[in-house]
Structure 1
Amino acid sequence: MISLPLLTYGAAVLTSLVCGTSAASLVQVKDFGANPGNANMYIYVPDKVAANPAIIVALHYCGGTATAYYRQNNFASQADKYGYIVIYPSATHDNNCWDAATTATLTHNGGSDSLSIVNMVKYTLAKYNGDSKRVFATGSSSGAIMTNVLAGAYPDVFAAGAPFSGMPYGCLAGSPGSSPQSADPICANGQKIYTAEKWGDLVRSGYPGYNGSYPKMQIWFGTADYVLKYQNFVEQVKQWSNVFGVSLTKNVTDTPKKGYTKMIFGEGDKLVAYSAAGVGHFVPTDESSVLSWFGIAP
């Protein structure tokens, strides 16, 4: 006679097989290497990992956590489909805002949060035989600001970035804290306006002597963002257009959805930007567009 627990277990297995549910879940990694920013690492590894998988770093907003951001976007569910791995770092200081202000975080191998995140990437590449040429970063608000930091300070690690509602690399440099509102309201209010060349020089200062290519960038921002003013979008675009040496080629309206304008720079293979009419802080993550930009999905 089959016991009730075994019947229950069998039913659960049958349900899993029939429904195709995933056994993968978000798990914490406590020993991933040097951790100068004292950040926490969480990772989502799908049941079926692709050979030499791509790696996406998904960065939460101020006040957020890795687990909260994991629930708020679909990168994990899409990982089940495409076989890539998602790292969800979690900040532990300044109201869980990422450090985008100190010289350490803004400098290649300088320390703080950016180096902690890079060490999470290195751990994942080694453990899962990841593709070092397909490492990407995306994030919202403070996570978007950190995406720009990683692209500037570690262009040798990341192949592309997709910041949603952030600000330029180096805008918060020298601020006393990490929260863009409390640390430096000048940046949050869009009052730090530089030439494209000066913004570009800030990026280039993140890794002195670096002569390689920089991560291609897909920048998202809402016109009705009153937390980080829209000028931050303008300054980001100026910054990366200078880094890549490209200028605006054309605008495409109602792309990828109604009210969004896609701005294409050069050939559109290094820099694109999306201005979302009437959207506040922060622009909802468009996973399909991001995965396409990263070359993971069509």
Structure 2
Amino acid sequence: MVVHRTVAVNGINMVVAEQGEGPLVLLLHGWPETSHSWRHQIGPLADAGYRVVAPDQRGFGRTDRPAGVEQYTMLHLVGDVVGLIEALGEEPAIVVGHDWGAPVAWHTALLRPDLVRGVAGISVPPAPRAPAPPLSLLRAHFGEGFYQIYFQRPGVAEAEFGADIRATFRTLLGGSAQAPVVQDGEGFLDRFTTPEQMPDWLEDEDIDVAVESFERSGFTGGLNWYRNIDRNWELLAPWHDARITPPAYYLCGENDLTRAFTDSTAMAKAAADLRGVVDVAGAGHWVQLERPDEVNAALLGFFGSL
């Protein structure tokens, strides 16, 4: 049975979902999600003999939302994970992340390898530090309308997503996306086609959870993660060309849109002990929801190798 509780971590109160006993596994959600995005993983991984903990990360769900943009850097996010491992009384842990949670997982393994038994990323691969500030590279390649640049404008994306939160999540979770480059006069959601009927892996109750969560939290905390992309590049300069040393694993849906702007060819350069790369045929970005049995089996296979 999943238990929700609040843990004091790194100067904030973090709400976690927890189940099981055994080696610690942390599941880090992405944007715009909460711990609910791991609803098909928590039970099966716990039943397989692991203590599974999925937090609402900084700025999301019932976890605290600091006011300053600068309080959402990668160092803060990794600090939250480190603090959570310590608060749970476990070390080292297996750290798994999806979407934005994947870079947090990769950087936790990079910065604190002593606390990480193994690290797995879903959707976003491990990557070496960029040769220049990332937003400048994205502008040069995709133009000013690339969604990560669109998200830099204070209040703009918040107003778009908050205008009708239910419609926002029906579109983001259930829709299909074109190239994520916002055209003049458009919003980010205009890049998506929303089906009349949601996919069979997405229940109305799941949309309800998302609506209730983001009505409470708003969107600014999560968007602040994007607003630190260049600041992260500056802060992580001491680790330029450093490699992730704990055992690593990568999984991605075959049709994940992030493939258009991430470089999976550099994984071996970024991770010294890359133990597996899995493409889930026919799956999209929300692969852990679309194909939970395959994702769970793959993760347990990786966990068993550690």
Q: Same fold (TM over 0.5)?
A: yes
Conserved 8 A contact 2:25-2:52: yes
Code of the aligned partner of 1:34: N
Cross-structure match for 1:41: 15
Identity over aligned residues, as a percent?
A: 16
1:242 alignment partner, one of 252, 263, 269: 269
Q: Secondary structure at the match of 1:57?
A: strand
Change over 3 Å in CA distance of 1:242–1:81 after alignment to 2:
closer
Conserved 8 A contact 1:118-1:157: yes
Conserved 8 A contact 1:62-1:95: no
Runs of 4+ in 1 over 6 A off after TM superposition: 101-104, 171-174, 209-213
Q: Secondary structure at the match of 2:259?
A: coil
Conserved 8 A contact 2:110-2:243: no
Q: Deviations over 1:150-199 (max 9, x none)?
A: 222222211212211114445696669xxxx74358xxx79xxxxxxxxx
Following TM superposition, by how much is the alpha carbon of 1:216 offset from its aligned partner in structure 2, in angstroms?
1.5
Following TM superposition, by how much is the alpha carbon of 1:56 offset from its aligned partner in structure 2, in angstroms?
0.6
The answer to whether residue 246 in structure 2 is matched with residue 221 in structure 1 is no
Q: Secondary structure at the match of 1:159?
A: strand
Conserved 8 A contact 2:16-2:54: yes
Following TM superposition, by how much is the alpha carbon of 1:144 offset from its aligned partner in structure 2, in angstroms?
2.2
Q: Deviations over 1:22-59 (max 9, x none)?
A: xx42221232x423xx462314143xx3xxx3111101
The answer to whether residue 29 in structure 2 is matched with residue 25 in structure 1 is no
Which whole-Å CA distance do the structure 1 matches of 2:14 and 2:53 have between them? Answer: 10
Q: Deviations over 1:97-131 (max 9, x none)?
A: x9xx979844xxx4x1110111001111x2xxx3x
Cross-structure match for 2:33: 64
Q: Secondary structure at the match of 1:30?
A: strand
Which whole-Å CA distance do the structure 2 matches of 1:102 and 1:150 have between them? Answer: 19
Unmatched tracts of structure 2, length 5 or more: 137-145, 151-178, 181-232
Which whole-Å CA distance do the structure 2 matches of 1:54 and 1:206 have between them? Answer: 33
1:120 alignment partner, one of 84, 97, 108: 84
Which whole-Å CA distance do the structure 1 matches of 2:238 and 2:114 have between them? Answer: 9
Following TM superposition, by how much is the alpha carbon of 1:76 offset from its aligned partner in structure 2, in angstroms?
2.8
Which whole-Å CA distance do the structure 1 matches of 2:242 and 2:103 have between them? Answer: 23
Which whole-Å CA distance do the structure 2 matches of 1:272 and 1:102 have between them? Answer: 35
Conserved 8 A contact 1:79-1:85: yes
Code of the aligned partner of 1:272: G
Q: Secondary structure at the match of 2:113?
A: coil
TM-score by length of 2: 0.54
Conserved 8 A contact 1:153-1:206: no
Which whole-Å CA distance do the structure 2 matches of 1:78 and 1:223 have between them? Answer: 23
Conserved 8 A contact 1:164-1:282: no
Larger radius of gyration: 1
Q: What aligned pairs does 1:121-270 form with structure 2 within 5 A after superposition?
A: 121-124=85-88, 126=89, 130=90, 132-133=91-92, 135-169=93-127, 170=129, 182-184=147-149, 208=239, 214-226=245-257, 228-230=258-260, 232=262, 235-238=263-266, 240-244=267-271, 270=274
Code of the aligned partner of 1:28: R
Unmatched tracts of structure 1, length 5 or more: 1-23, 191-201, 246-268
Which whole-Å CA distance do the structure 2 matches of 1:137 and 1:116 have between them? Answer: 13
Conserved 8 A contact 1:43-1:85: no
Conserved 8 A contact 2:110-2:244: no
The answer to whether residue 271 in structure 2 is matched with residue 294 in structure 1 is no
The answer to whether residue 46 in structure 2 is matched with residue 79 in structure 1 is yes
Cross-structure match for 1:255: none
Q: Secondary structure at the match of 1:150?
A: helix
Which whole-Å CA distance do the structure 1 matches of 2:113 and 2:237 have between them? Answer: 9
Hey, which of these two has a bigger chunk of helix by percent?
2
Conserved 8 A contact 2:45-2:52: no
| Greater relative contact order, per chain length (Cα 8 Å cut-off, separation 6+) | 2
Which whole-Å CA distance do the structure 2 matches of 1:244 and 1:78 have between them? Answer: 24
Conserved 8 A contact 1:218-1:271: yes
CA RMSD of aligned residues (A): 4.1
Which whole-Å CA distance do the structure 2 matches of 1:173 and 1:123 have between them? Answer: 34
